[in-house]
Amino acid sequence: MLETSIFTEITLNHYLVLSAIMFSLGMAGVLLRRNLIVLLMSIELMLNAVNISFVAFSHYMGKIDGQVMVFFVMTIAAAEAAVGLALAVSIFKRFKEVNIRFFEHLKG
Amino acid sequence: MLNHELLIAILLLSPLLGFFINGIRFRSSNYLIAGAVATVAVGISFVSAVLLFLQLVDLSPENRRLAVSFFEWMAIDKLRVNAGFVVDQISGIMILIITGVGTLIHLFSVGYMHHDKGVTKYFAYLNLFIFNMLILVLGDSLLTMFVGWEGVGLCSYLLIGFWFSDSAKAAAGMKAFITNRIGDAAFILGMFILFFTFGTLNIHELNGLAPTLVESSWLGAVTLGTLMLFIGATGKSAQIPLYVWLPDAMAGPTPVSALIHAATMVTAGVYMIVRLNPIFIVAPNTMMVIAIIGAATAVLAATIGLTQYDIKKVLAYSTVSQLGYMFLAVGVGAFGAGMFHLMTHAFFKALMFLGSGSVIHGMHEEQDIRKMGGLKKYMPITHFTFLLGWLAIIGIPPFAGFFSKDEILWLAFSSPSGHWALWAAGALGAALTAFYMTRLMALTFWGKSRVDKKVHPHESGLTMTIPLMVLGLLSIVGGWIGIPHVIGEYLGHIPNYWEHWLEPVIKKLPTSDAIVSHQTSTEWALMGASVLIASISAITAYWMYVVRPGSSEKIKKAIRPVYEVVNNKYWVDEAYFSWIINPLIQTSKSLWYYIDVNFIDKMTFKVADMAMGGGSFLKVLQNGNMQQYAMYIGVGVVVVLSFVLMR
Amino acid sequence: MTADAFLFWFLAFVTVVSGLSVILMVNPIYSALSLAMTMIGVAAIFVTLNAYFLAGVQLIVYAGAVMVLFVMVLMLFDLKHEIQAFTRGRLTGAIKIASVGILSGLIVGAVTMGLKTPVVITASSDVAAAPTVDTTRALAENLFIKNVLGFEVLGVMLLVIAVGAVALSRSKGGTHARD
Amino acid sequence: MTTMGSTTIEIAINLVKTILVFLMMVQAVPILVWLERRGSAFIQNRFGPNRVGPLGLVQLLADAVKFLKKEDFVPEKGNRFLFYCAPVFAMIPGAIAYMAIPMSVPLVTESYTFLIQGYEINVGIVFILGISSLAAYTILMAGWGSGSKFSLMGALRASAQIISYELALGLAIVGVILLYGTFNLAEMIQSQSGSLNFQGFGYTVAANWLPNWGIFYQPIGALLFFAATFAESNRLPFDLAEGEAELVAGFHTEYGGFKMLMFFIGEYAHMMVASGLMVTFFFGGYSIWNFSPEEVHSWIMNTFSVAPFTANVLNSIIHFLSYTIKFALFLWIFIHVRWTLPRFRYDQLMDLGWKTMLPWALANSILTAAIIFIGSHFTL
C-alpha cells in the first residue's frame, strides 16, 4: 500500500524532493559549466528550486509569507540576471567569448 | 512660554545646524551668506538663552534649576551618564555671556573676515565652538562637560591654525593643542579619582555628596582629585605652568582671540572650579595652591606684558594675568567674585581684542605698536571704545573692572584663607596692568604718529563698530550689578544683585561668617590704595610714553639685565624645550631605534615570514577559479549537513 | 491515480528533464530554451499549489522577460558550439559531481526520513481553504502592509541595478548616437 | 485546479471547448486574411482578390491549397530543429491566451454552468499577459533557426520590441485592475454592465444614456493599451521586425509554405487576443449597450414567452453576437491602421515605448490609485 500511496498522494515531501533535485541540478551547472551565461542560468535554476519550496511550504502550512518571499526572490533574481548579463556583455566585448576563466584575473 | 527642554534643544542645536550648513558648503567664499547663517544661528541661541534666563528668574531661589536629559549616553555598571543639560545660576550667566558676546563677535567677524577665502569654513568652526562651549557649561556631569572641554579644544586648535599655510601659525595651533592635552590628561585623572571616591560624575550629585569635614591631608582623595582637575584647568585657562600656549594662540584671527582666548574658552577652568565649589572647598590645600598659582600668574604675566610690542601679545599676557586674578579669587574661596570678574573680563577683554582687531584691520594687518601711534584721529570710534575698555581693566570706578577686581583684592585680604601677601601680589599686578595698558593706549592711539607713509589707517565699517559700541556700554555698566556693600550702602542701599543671585549655589568657607563685613574702614582703605596705585602707575606710563617719549629707552638701559629677563619671557619656553621636550624626544628616539626597530620589528618580521611560508602551501587552493570556490562552498555544505544529520 | 497526482508527476518530469538539459546541453541556446521550459513548468507547479498570481508573475518575469533577455544575449553573441563546455580537471570534476550528488542525496534523505508524517495544515489557514482571488488579496496585504519596507527597498535596489546595468554595458555608438 | 475542473466530465467538457475555440480561431484566420486583402484594396482604391468565388471568398481555399503544396524548405546553415519548432510554437501562446476571454453570458442549467469561454481563470489578466509574453521565444527561435542575418536581426528587434512594450501594456491595465478590483475577466465584464453609474467623493453620478464601460473611466489607459497591443502583435505601424527595406521580411524571411501560414495564424491570434482584451477591458465585453444581461434575459422571457432554459440559450447567443460585433470592429481597426499609417523608425519606436508610453502609463496608474483612494475615503 505504501508504494501506491507515494504515487497517488502528493504531499509536501514530494515538492521538497523535487525542489532538492532541481537545486542540485543548478548547483551542478554552476560547478561544471564554463560559459558565464550558462552559469547565470544555473543560478536561476537554483533560485527557482528554492521558490518551489517556498510556495509548497506556503501552501501546506497555510501561511502567505512564503509567497511574499518568492516575490522578493523573483525580483532579486531579475536584478541579478540584469547585472550578470551586463557583465557578460562587457566580457564578450573584450574577449569575444564569455568563459568564466576570464574572471580569474581580476585586473585590467 | 516655551518649554525649557525645547529651549535648551534650540540653544544647543542652532549653532550645530549653522555649523552643518556652513560646513557642507565650506568651499564657498561668499562671506555674506556664511556670516548671516552663522550670526543668525548664534543669535537664535542668544534669544533662547535670554528666554531660559527669564524662566530661571521666575523660579524661587532654592530650586533655580532647569534640567533636561535627552537620552542615556552610556551605562557601564555604576557609571550612568545621560546627555543631560542643566541651566542654573552659574550656567545661566555663562550661556548669556557665551551667546551674547558670541553673537557680537560673529557680527564683527563678518566685517573682519570678508576678504578671506576660507570665510565659510571660519564661520563653521566658530559655530562649532559655540556649540561645544554650550555643552561644556550646560553639561550636567563631568563627562558631558569633558566632551565640550575637548570640543572647544579642537575648535581652538582649528581656529588658531586657521591660516595653516603659514607654518608658524600651524605650529602655534599644535602647541595649544598639545599643551591642552597635558591638562586634559590630568582632568581625566581627576575624574577617575572623584568617581572612585564618590561613585558618580553627575555634578549635582557630587556637590551634594561633598564631605562636610575639611580634608587637611595632601594625599586625601578629594585633594588629589581637585588638584588634578585644577591642573586640567591650568591647561585650559593658561595658568602657570601651562600658560605658554595662549600668547602663541594669537596667531589665529583676532575675533577668535576675542571669543575663545579671552572671553569664553579660557575661563572654562574658572567655571569648572566654581561649578564644583562644594568639592573644592573641602580641600584647603588645593585652594591654597590655586590662590598662589593665580597670584603668581597674575604678576608674572603682567611683567611680561610690559615689554611686548605686538598689540595682541600684550592683550594675551593681560588675559593670562586677569585669569590669574580669577584663580586667585576662587583660591581664596571667593567664587562669586571669580565669576563676577569672569563676566566683566569677558566684556572688556572682548572689547579690547575686537578693538585691536579693528586697529589691525584699519592698519592693513600691522600688529606692531611701534609702527602705530596717533591713531586717535583716524579711528575715533575704536579709540573711544578702547578707552572704555582701558578704564575698565585698570580699575577706575565706576567702570566694570573696578568692582570685580576690587572685590577680588578685598577678599584676598579678608577671607579666612586669604593673606596680606596675596593682596600685595594682586595690587602689584593691578599696578603693572595699569602700566602696560596705558603704555598700549599711548603707543597705539596717542602721541605722534609713527605710521608708515604707505599705510593709510581708516575706521572700520558698521558691522565691526556696532559690537565695539555694545561691548563698550557693557564695560561701563557691567559691574553695577555687583556693587560691594560698603559703596552700595554709601550710595543709598543699592543691593549686591550678584551675590544674591549666586548665593544658593556658592558654599561659604567654613569659618568665614565671623570676619567678613565688619572692617568697613579697612575695605575703604584698601580700595583707595589699589585705585591710587593703579592711577599712579597709569600716570607714570602716560608720562613715559606720551609726555617724554624717549624716557622709556633710558630706563630700559638702566635696568638692562632685568629687562632682558622679562623681555625673553623668563626663558620659559626655552626651559621647557631644553628640560622637558628635548630629553623626551631623545628618549623616544632611542626607544624607537633599540626597542622598536631592532627588537619588535624583527620579531614581527619573523612571524610574518612564517605566515608567508605557511601561505605558500595554501595558496594553491586560492587560484582565482570561481567554480572551485563554489566547490569549496558545496563541500562545506555537504560536510556540515552530514554532520548535522548524522548526529 | 488522481488528476492532481498525475499533474504533479508530469510537471516534475518536465521540470527535471528540462533542468537536466540546461546543464547538459552543449549549445547554450538549447540550455536557455530548456531553462525557459523549466520556468513554465515551475509556473505550472505553482498553479498546482494554488499560487495563481505567482504563477502568472513567474511567466511574465522569468519566462517572458529574464529568459528572453538571456536568449537574446546568446543569439547576439552568436555562440554556436563551445569548444569546451565543461570545466577541466578530473579530480575537481569528480569532487564537484560527488558533492552535488551527496548533497541532493542528503536533502532527499532528510526530507523523506525526517518529515515522514505530513505537515499538519493549521486551522487558521489563509491559503488552502480560501478562494484564489483572496490568495492574491492576502499576498497584496502581506506585501504592502507587513513587508512594505522590504518592498520599497527592493524598488530602490531595482533602480540602482537598472542604472548599474546600463552603465556596465554602455558602449559608444548605438542607435542613439548623435555624432 | 479551477482551470480544468475537478470531475472527469468537467475536464472532458473543458478539453472539448479548448479544441473548439482553437478551431474557431484557426477558421477565423482565412476570413481575416481575405478581409485584410479586400480591405487593403478598398483603402488603396484597387479591387483585390475578386475572381475566385463570390466576392473572391473561395480565394481562401485556393490559398490554403497553395500553401500546402509548397516545398518544405530548410536553410542549409540553419538549425533544423528550431526552424521547425518555431512556427508550431507560434500558434500556441495566442490560442491559449484567447481561451481565457469570456465571449458570452454563461449558459446556466440546473446542474451545470456552461461558460462560453475556454476556461475561467481567476487571475485572467496575469495569465494572459504571461502566456502572450512567451511569443518572444517563437520569434527568437525562428530568427536563430533560419541561420540568416536578416532573420536574426529581425528576431532581435521584434523580441526587444515585445518585451519593451510589455511594460507599457502591463502598466496601462493597472488602472483597469484598480478600477474593478479584480483580475477576473468575467467579473470585470459583470461590473461593466448596465448604464454609467459610479460613486465617489460622497456623490453618485448616473448617466442613463451611456453604458458603464471602462473607456469612460480609463481613456488614457485604453489608448495606451491599444497602442501597445499593436507593438505586441508586431503589426504596422510597429512592424519593424519585417521592415522590408531593411530586413527583407524579418524573422520569417526564410519561411514559406505551411510554416509561413502558421506564423500568420500566430499573428492573427495575437490580434484577436488584443481585440478581445480591448473589448473586455474597455468596451463592456459581451454586454449590450446600456442593458445588463439580467434585463436582456427578462426581456426575452417577456417578449417571446419561452421557457427559462431556452431564454438562457437565446440570451447567450445574443450576447455572443454583441461580443462578436465589437470584436470584429476592433479587428477591422487593426487592419485599417495597418494600411493607413506609415512605419516608425526603430529608435522612434523605442523612444515612444520607454519615454512616452511608459511614463504616461505610470502616471495613469498613480492618478487612478490616488483618485480611487481619495474618492472612497473623503467626501467633497
**Residue-number span of the structural domain to which D371 is assigned:** 27-377
Smallest Cβ distance to C147: which of A29, A48, A68?
A68
- Give Cα A40 distance to the centre of its chain: 9
Smallest Cβ distance to B634: which of C87, C99, C107?
C99
If phi > 0 it is left, if psi is from -120 to 50 it is alpha, else beta; for residue D55 that is left
Query: Considering the domain C1-86 in this protein, what is its CATH number?
Result: 1.20.120.1200
B132 — pLDDT class (breaks 50, 70, 90): very high
**pLDDT number for residue C173:** 46
**pLDDT number for residue A3:** 54
- Asked if B626 and A105 come within 8 Å (Cβ–Cβ), the reply is no
**pLDDT number for residue C179:** 41
Helix (H, G, I), strand (E, B) or coil at C128: coil
Residues 24-63 of A with CB under 8 A from C: 24-29, 31-35, 37-38, 40-42, 44-45, 48, 51-52, 55-56, 58-63
Residue B43 C-alpha cell reads as 543669535
**pLDDT number for residue C130:** 43
pLDDT one-digit tens code per residue, B562-621: 888 888 888 888 888 888 889 999 999 999 888 888 888 999 999 999 999 988 888 777
Beta bridge partners of D200: D203
Query: Is A27 in CB contact (< 8 Å) with chain B?
Result: yes
Question: What is chain B's mean pLDDT, rounded?
Answer: 88
Residues of chain B positioned with their CB less than 8 A from the CB of C88: none
Say which range, B614-623, C24-33, C40-49, C112-121, has the weakest mean pLDDT: C112-121
pLDDT at B344 over 80: yes
Please count the CA atoms within 13 angstroms of the CA of B49 that sit on its side-chain side.
30
pLDDT at B548 over 50: yes
CA distances from B451 to B370, B375, B448, B457, C121 (A): 9, 9, 9, 8, 100
Residues of chain A positioned with their CB less than 8 A from the CB of C5: 7-10
CATH number of the domain at A46, please: 1.10.287.3510
- Asked if B623 and A104 come within 8 Å (Cβ–Cβ), the reply is yes
pLDDT one-digit tens code per residue, C91-104: 778 888 888 888 88
Strands D195-200 and D203-211: antiparallel
Smallest Cβ distance to A104: which of B624, B630, B631?
B624
Q: Which residue of D has its CA nearest to C43?
A: D130
Q: Which residue of A has its CA nearest to B628?
A: A31
CA torsion D310→D311→D313→D318, rounded to 10°?
A: 140
DSSP characters over B303-360: HHHHH--BHHHHHHHHHHHHHHHHHHHHHTT-HHHHHHHHHHHHHHHHHHHHHHHHHH
CB pairs A-C closer than 8 Å: 236
Query: Which chains sit next to C, with 3 or more Cβ pairs under 8 A?
Result: A, B, D
Provide the residue-wise pLDDT of chain D in tens; the chain has 380 residues: 344 455 677 778 878 888 888 888 888 888 888 888 888 888 888 888 877 778 778 888 888 888 888 877 778 777 788 888 888 888 888 888 888 888 888 877 777 777 777 777 777 888 888 888 888 888 888 888 887 778 888 888 888 888 888 888 888 888 888 888 888 888 888 888 877 777 777 777 777 778 888 888 888 889 899 888 888 887 777 776 666 666 677 777 778 778 888 888 888 888 888 888 889 888 888 888 777 788 888 888 888 877 778 888 888 888 888 888 988 898 888 888 888 888 888 888 888 888 889 999 999 999 998 888 888 877 76
Say which range, B205-214, B487-496, C112-121, has the weakest mean pLDDT: C112-121
Mutate to test the interface with B, among C88, C99, C111, C115 (most CBs of B within 10 A): C99
- Asked if C132 and D156 come within 8 Å (Cβ–Cβ), the reply is no
Query: Is A105 in CB contact (< 8 Å) with chain B?
Result: yes
- Asked if A106 and B634 come within 8 Å (Cβ–Cβ), the reply is no
CA distance D269 to D251: 18
**pLDDT number for residue B183:** 92
CB pairs B-C closer than 8 Å: 28
pLDDT one-digit tens code per residue, A28-86: 888 888 888 888 889 999 999 999 999 988 888 888 888 888 989 998 988 888 888 88
C79 — pLDDT class (breaks 50, 70, 90): low
Q: Which residue of D has its CA nearest to C4?
A: D1
CA distance C28 to B206: 78
Q: Measured between alpha carbons, how far apart are the two ends of chain A, in Å? A: 64
Q: Which residue of D has its CA nearest to C54?
A: D126
Smallest Cβ distance to B642: which of C95, C100, C106?
C106
Query: Is A2 in CB contact (< 8 Å) with chain C?
Result: no
pLDDT at B300 over 60: yes
Task: Give the gap in angstroms from C-alpha B617 to the nearest C-alpha of chain C.
Answer: 18
**pLDDT number for residue B261:** 86
Give the dihedral sign, CA B89/B90/B95/B98.
positive
- Alpha helices per DSSP H over B213-267: 221-237, 245-248, 254-258
**pLDDT number for residue B121:** 92
CB pairs A-B closer than 8 Å: 20
Q: Which residue of C has its CA nearest to B637?
A: C103
Q: Of all helices (H) and strands (E), which one includes residue B516?
A: none
Residues B227/B289, Cβ–Cβ less than 8 Å: yes
CA distances from B154 to B161, B240, B258, B260 (A): 11, 22, 17, 11
Task: Give the gap in angstroms from C-alpha A39 to the nearest C-alpha of chain C.
Answer: 9
Q: What is the 3-state secondary structure of B257-272?
A: HHHHHHHCHHHHHHHH
Chain C residues within 8 Å of chain B (Cβ atoms): 87, 92, 95-96, 99-100, 102-103, 106-107, 109-110
Provide mean pLDDT across the span A4-20: 80
Q: What is the count of structural domains for chain D?
A: 1
**pLDDT number for residue B232:** 92
pLDDT one-digit tens code per residue, D61-105: 888 888 888 877 778 777 788 888 888 888 888 888 888 888 888
Task: Give the gap in angstroms from C-alpha C177 to the nearest C-alpha of chain A.
Answer: 18
Backbone angles phi, psi at A99, to 5 degrees: -85, 145
Task: Give the gap in angstroms from C-alpha A42 to the nearest C-alpha of chain B.
Answer: 12
Residues of chain D positioned with their CB less than 8 A from the CB of C72: 140, 156, 159-160
Smallest Cβ distance to C106: which of B628, B631, B638?
B638
Give B417's DSSP letter. T
Helix axes D80-98, D257-282, angle to 10 degrees: 30
- Asked if D130 and C56 come within 8 Å (Cβ–Cβ), the reply is yes
B299 — pLDDT class (breaks 50, 70, 90): very high
Q: Which residue of B has its CA nearest to C91?
A: B628
Task: Give the gap in angstroms from C-alpha C23 to the nearest C-alpha of chain A.
Answer: 5
Helix axes B268-275, B119-138, angle to 10 degrees: 20
D178 within a domain of the structure (yes/no): yes
Residue B197 C-alpha cell reads as 571616591
CA torsion B209→B213→B218→B222, rounded to 10°?
A: 0
pLDDT one-digit tens code per residue, B227-245: 999 999 999 999 988 888 9
Q: Which residue of A has its CA nearest to B623?
A: A104
Residues of chain B positioned with their CB less than 8 A from the CB of A31: 627, 630-631, 634
Task: Give the gap in angstroms from C-alpha C56 to the nearest C-alpha of chain D.
Answer: 5
Smallest Cβ distance to B627: which of C87, C100, C103?
C87
Q: Of all helices (H) and strands (E), which one includes residue B70?
A: strand B65-76
Count CB neighbours of B291 within 10 A. 25
pLDDT one-digit tens code per residue, B55-87: 888 888 878 888 888 888 888 888 888 888 999
CA distance D95 to D367: 34
Residue D266 C-alpha cell reads as 500566430
Query: Is B637 in CB contact (< 8 Å) with chain A?
Result: no
Instruction: Identify which of D209, D214, D197, D210 has the alpha carbon closest to the alpha carbon of residue D285.
Output: D214
Q: Where are the beta strands (DSSP E) in B139-265?
A: none
Helix axes B420-444, B380-393, angle to 10 degrees: 170
Q: What is the count of structural domains for chain A?
A: 1
- Asked if C131 and D131 come within 8 Å (Cβ–Cβ), the reply is no
A97 within a domain of the structure (yes/no): yes
CA distance C95 to B634: 10
CB pairs C-D closer than 8 Å: 101
Smallest Cβ distance to D122: which of C4, C52, C64?
C52
* One-letter amino acid for residue B580 of the chain: I
- Asked if B635 and C95 come within 8 Å (Cβ–Cβ), the reply is yes
- Alpha helices per DSSP H over chain C: 3-24, 28-48, 52-57, 67-77, 90-114, 132-141, 148-169
**Residue-number span of the structural domain to which A31 is assigned:** 2-103
pLDDT at C81 over 70: no
C131 — pLDDT class (breaks 50, 70, 90): very low
C147 — pLDDT class (breaks 50, 70, 90): confident
**Which residues are CB-contacts of C160 (< 8 A; sequence separation ≥ 6)?**
none
Q: Which residue of C has its CA nearest to B643?
A: C106
Give CA angle at B281 (B280, B284), nearest 5°: 95
Query: Is B630 in CB contact (< 8 Å) with chain A?
Result: yes
Task: Give the gap in angstroms from C-alpha A104 to the nearest C-alpha of chain C.
Answer: 14
Task: Give the gap in angstroms from C-alpha A103 to the nearest C-alpha of chain C.
Answer: 14
| Burial (Cβ within 10 Å: 0-12, 13-18, ≥19) of residue D40 | middle
A108 within a domain of the structure (yes/no): no
**pLDDT number for residue C82:** 60
Mutate to test the interface with C, among B622, B633, B635, B639 (most CBs of C within 10 A): B635
CA distance C71 to C33: 7
Residues of chain C positioned with their CB less than 8 A from the CB of B631: 92, 95-96, 99
Residues B196/B185, Cβ–Cβ less than 8 Å: no
CA distance C15 to C45: 9
pLDDT at B145 over 90: yes
**pLDDT number for residue D2:** 44
Smallest Cβ distance to A79: which of C35, C142, C158?
C158
Please count the CA atoms within 13 angstroms of the CA of B500 that sit on its side-chain side.
11
Q: Are chains D and A in contact at 3+ CB pairs closer than 8 Å?
A: no
Q: Are chains D and B in contact at 3+ CB pairs closer than 8 Å?
A: no
